[in-house]
Amino acid sequence: MEKIFISSCLLGEKVRYHGGDALVISSIMEKWKNEGRIVSLCPEVSAGFSVPRPPSEISGEGGGSAVLSGKAKVVKKDHQDYSDLFILGAQNALKIIVDHKIKIAILKEGSPSCGANFIYDGSFSGKKIVGQGVTSSLLKQNGIEVFAETQIEEADRFLAQIESNLS
């Protein structure tokens, strides 16, 4: 049985920067939970960030992959660089995924760690741009299929495809 990595905030854990969660109510996720498929983590909390914490955004072009290569940074509004902690959180997530032989991740859209399809533009103005967070980028670089919480049905179809190929 394939496991699925899910950002812990999506499961109702109060680990987000503002101290809340991003609970997703989904019959598919409930089914996965009942089947014992879900493995979860908040990459930021795993790296030592507190809850709550000031918001962070990726500053510079290229999103999470640019942070991983040192060409961009993850900063708080005061422009202090927290890239190392975001990279550590991504590495923590990847280790768990590798240990459990996971092929699918569902991550919190918009997050500088977990954004699967978009992130904030680094100006702290609320403007979103196409891009991935640090964890999302590291997972994709390692062959993990990453979905946002709005793509659970697509993730379920991908899971079914993986399992039918194993049969």
pLDDT averaged per 10 residues, the chain (length 167): 97 97 97 97 97 96 97 94 98 98 97 97 96 98 98 97 85
- Which 3 state secondary structure label does DSSP give 49? coil
- Residue type for position 158: F
Distance CA 43, CA 87 (A): 9
3-state secondary structure of 16: coil
